[in-house]
Structure 1
């Protein structure tokens, strides 16, 4: 049967004990609706509860809640138990509460999500095999650091780690340690063509999106995308960290918080880019109109947030997509050029060579080394 996670937004008067009692009422009658309550999370600070339930369908879950106590969920999504466990650390009641009759669980489902990974800036004059070995060593170091700060690796590729933390302090301190270690390694090995990128966001598993932590992951991904040798964090992560570490200040050369207004602009920018970037006729004037900014304001805002002019950002966006397409061998070079919004294969090759130091064809050959 499918597994669902639901969200309940409760009033300020609701306690962990009250939520535990409601959960027990569900368990008493769940068999009548062919449901099985696996566990739940309750956040007393944010007044949210999340239930993990096996059920034939969403309506059966709603009927069970309604019949048991009348408190129906505000949102329900279908989930994969393994993914829930990777983010939240469990899919059943914690050991400390299993042998208690009321089974009170006062444990938030709120998590800080970090995306961190390496970006190769060029492939010119590079010993590929040696570089691969170095990257593997760096990734092993990152993995060990994540573990030491109690992070849970949700997803890992050769390029990045997606990590879940219960503690925002652990997340920030982990990111700083990873960045510090990388900077030392880079200096020791005198390599300027690799950069570490890191973005951090925070949130709850069920929102108006369809997947677990979907919008939190998206925010972390977008901050990761614009990070340039710094750790970019949301304003919420900044405030949470400062509330836990009142006498500790951020290192401006390592951590770069993004303001709420700039974050909103970034998301509007990325939403639009993802909807239109394949059209070769699309250019910076379209961005001005979509974001309702004059050309000068758009330039100022984008260089401040992303470090690039509008035109450079559009080209960089397309080149990143093209690089991904070549890696996955999604068509030949000419096909990829057109699919990623370049007007011609020759122009695509010119832009690719300028950025990475090799032609798309040569890069394709490097992949097989």
Structure 2
């Protein structure tokens, strides 16, 4: 049977004890609906509770909750048990709550999510073999994650998705990774080895369809889009300072974006995802649809990404084209048009300016 996680937004008057009692009522009637309550998370501070349930479908979960106590979930998504454990550290009740008369779990599902990318897209695509750099860097990261209690959710040769319970641990881990990186990267690697880290925070079930999707998306955009080697949200900054008696984040090492920048980034990337491959799209359309004058858009985009609107769109298209070439999704002309370029010749010129070689050279050297 599939596994689901649901979300309950709990009122102020509801405590962890109340949630434990409701969970107990669920267990009494779950057999009537073919369900099995596996465990749950409760966060009195953020007023949320999340149940992990094996069930035939979403309706069965709603009916079970309604019969048991009437508190129907606000959202239900299907999940993978292994992924849940990677993010949250468990898929069963905590040891301290087992074998107790009332299983009270006051354990937040709130997590700090870090995305790490260790080279530009061209060199990420090249890195099919487990190079000496990759070995050294992976060994260093593994030790650092263990030191700061980070759980690796997903990794490949050049990127890592990591979950933390503590904001302070995540920040200190990022700084340690940044410090170690320069000793692992040899002098001749400097031009093609970069390190970017994005850190955001959130809960597993929101209005999105996938587990921690909102938080992962934001961490990815901070890592890949925003100008800065370590980029964090305003919430991360605030939580870190709260945990550390108002000790401020060092702006020389970490860039924190404010709420307005975060909203602009979200609006920007949601919009770009819908128009990036349309060849007739231009900067005038960009500014008017985003609701800014051309000068305002240019100023906001340069501040956030270091690029003008035109350069930003061209770079975005080139990254998509590079991946399409690598995956052999068509010939050069087909990919040029599919990624929004008006002609293969202009595409080749832009490609060479960005990556230092023509698309044909890339195919010869890097695609078997």
Q: TM over 0.5, yes or no?
A: yes
Q: How far has the Cα of 1:324 moved from its partner?
A: 1.6
1:117 & 1:212 partners in 2: Cα distance? 21
Residue 299 of structure 1: aligned partner? 298
Q: Which runs of 5+ in 1 are unaligned?
A: none
Residue 87 of structure 2: aligned partner? 87
Q: Within 5 Å, which residues of 2 pair with 1:49-198? A: 49-120=49-120, 132-186=131-185, 191-198=190-197
In 1, are the aligned partners of 2:337 and 2:344 still within 8 Å (CA)? Answer: yes
Aligned-residue RMSD, C-alpha = 2.1
Residue 15 of structure 2: aligned partner? 15
Q: How many residues were matched structurally?
A: 366
Whether 1:221 and 2:236 are equivalent positions in the alignment is: no
Residue 47 of structure 1: aligned partner? 47
Q: How far has the Cα of 1:330 moved from its partner?
A: 1.8
Q: Within 5 Å, which residues of 2 pair with 1:349-360? A: 349-360=348-359
Residue 311 of structure 1: aligned partner? 310
The verdict on how the C-alpha distance between 1:190 and 1:30 changes in structure 2, with shifts beyond 3 A counting, is closer
Instruction: Tell me the secondary structure at the aligned position of residue 46 of structure 2.
Output: coil
Q: Within 5 Å, which residues of 2 pair with 1:240-251? A: 240-251=239-250
Q: String of CA shifts for 1:25-44, please: whole Å, max 9, x gaps.
A: 11111111111000000011
2:248 & 2:133 partners in 1: Cα distance? 32
Residue 281 of structure 1: aligned partner? 280
Q: String of CA shifts for 1:9-66, please: whole Å, max 9, x gaps.
A: 1112211111111111111111111110000000111111000111111111111111
Shifted more, 96-105 versus 129-138: the winner is 129-138
The verdict on how the C-alpha distance between 1:55 and 1:265 changes in structure 2, with shifts beyond 3 A counting, is same
In 2, are the aligned partners of 1:168 and 1:237 still within 8 Å (CA)? Answer: yes
Q: Which runs of 5+ in 2 are unaligned?
A: none
Q: How far has the Cα of 1:264 moved from its partner?
A: 0.7
In 2, are the aligned partners of 1:198 and 1:227 still within 8 Å (CA)? Answer: no
Q: How far has the Cα of 1:128 moved from its partner?
A: 8.5
Q: How far has the Cα of 1:73 moved from its partner?
A: 1.1
In 2, are the aligned partners of 1:283 and 1:314 still within 8 Å (CA)? Answer: no
